[in-house]
């Protein structure tokens, strides 16, 4: 089963991205989704190459946001697709069956479509308002997660669903009661001055105080 905590990288420059990712890895995060939007291909390649080496060193999962061809070039562990990105079926044809393909969802229809198309996990959100993403989809809140997950049949529920969007430490306990598998976060880790502490506390809530 996949890790319950995903870190989505932040930073406007390669230097900022690498610093934030290195800090997250040093502090115990072992799932990195590289998100470096609206950059020239040369910069994205250079960053992805460096992050790939880091993730190999730390034995962390390395997922690339949006860019299927870059994920293929890097031999990354997988790709995460947004609602307006390449289809899951097209990505699967390029990456093959051994790579992880995650997809963003906002509605029950999104979730069921992704599952039917063979995605490996779903990032469902946003939970609440976040400045991290432009063109934010409608906010779900706890009731939104419960409503969507409760409609899924037992087979559909086997696909891990991650809550995403403005999540704080105080939200995690309540979110885990909705039936999600885990959370995908960025700002809560990036902005923390005590990353090891916040990642430990998040993992304790996600895994029920089991050491991971």
161: in domain? yes
37: in domain? yes
pLDDT of res. 137: 79
The C-alpha angle 127, 156, 81, rounded to 5 degrees, equals: 55
CA dist 142 and 133 (Å) reads 20
10: in domain? yes
pLDDT of res. 210: 47
201: in domain? yes
6 labelled ligand-binding = no
17 labelled ligand-binding = no
115-135: per-residue pLDDT in tens?
999 999 999 999 998 766 666
Residue-range definition of the domain harbouring residue 118: 5-207
**CATH assignment of the domain containing 45:** 3.20.20.70
132 labelled ligand-binding = yes
Question: Among candidates 133, 128, 168, 131, which has minimal Cα distance to 144?
Answer: 128
Number of domains in the chain: 1
156 labelled ligand-binding = no
33 labelled ligand-binding = yes
Mean pLDDT for 192-197 is 95
pLDDT of res. 130: 72
Mean pLDDT for 58-66 is 97
What is the β-pairing status of strands 78-81 and 100-105?
parallel
173 labelled ligand-binding = no
77: in domain? yes
CA dist 165 and 184 (Å) reads 8
98 labelled ligand-binding = no
130 labelled ligand-binding = yes
Question: Among candidates 184, 171, 143, which has minimal Cα distance to 61?
Answer: 184
Across the chain, mean pLDDT equals 94
112 labelled ligand-binding = no
Is 99:78 a contact under the CB 8 Å cutoff?
yes
pLDDT of residue 212 exceeding 50, the answer is no
212: in domain? no
119: in domain? yes
pLDDT of residue 33 exceeding 90, the answer is yes
195 labelled ligand-binding = no
92-104: per-residue pLDDT in tens?
999 999 999 999 9
pLDDT of res. 209: 54
Query: In the block, which residue shows the tokens 């939104």?
Result: 144
What single-letter DSSP state applies at residue 98? T
136: in domain? yes
36 labelled ligand-binding = yes
12 labelled ligand-binding = no
pLDDT of res. 211: 45
Mean pLDDT for 28-35 is 97
37 labelled ligand-binding = yes
């Amino acid at each position: 089963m996949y890790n319950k905590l995903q870190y989505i990288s932040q930073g406007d420059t390669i230097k900022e991205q690498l610093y934030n990712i290195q800090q997250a890895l040093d502090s115990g995060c072992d799932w990195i989704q590289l998100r470096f939007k609206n950059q020239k291909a040369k910069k994205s390649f250079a960053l992805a190459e460096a992050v790939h080496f880091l993730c190999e060193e730390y034995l962390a999962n390395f997922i690339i946001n949006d860019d299927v061809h870059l994920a293929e070039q890097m031999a990354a562990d997988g790709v995460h697709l947004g609602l307006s990105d390449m289809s899951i079926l097209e990505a699967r044809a390029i990456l093959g069956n051994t790579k992880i393909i995650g997809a963003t969802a906002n509605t029950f229809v999104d979730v069921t479509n992704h599952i039917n198309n063979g995605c490996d996990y779903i990032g469902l959100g946003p939970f609440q308002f976040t400045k991290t993403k432009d063109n934010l989809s409608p906010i779900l809140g706890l009731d939104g997660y419960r409503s969507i997950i409760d409609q899924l049949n037992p087979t559909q529920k086997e696909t891990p669903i991650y809550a995403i969007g403005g999540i704080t430490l105080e939200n995690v306990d309540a979110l885990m009661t909705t039936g999600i598998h885990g959370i995908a976060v960025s700002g809560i880790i990036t902005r923390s001055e005590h990353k090891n502490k916040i990642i430990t506390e998040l993992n304790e809530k996600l895994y029920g105080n089991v050491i991971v």
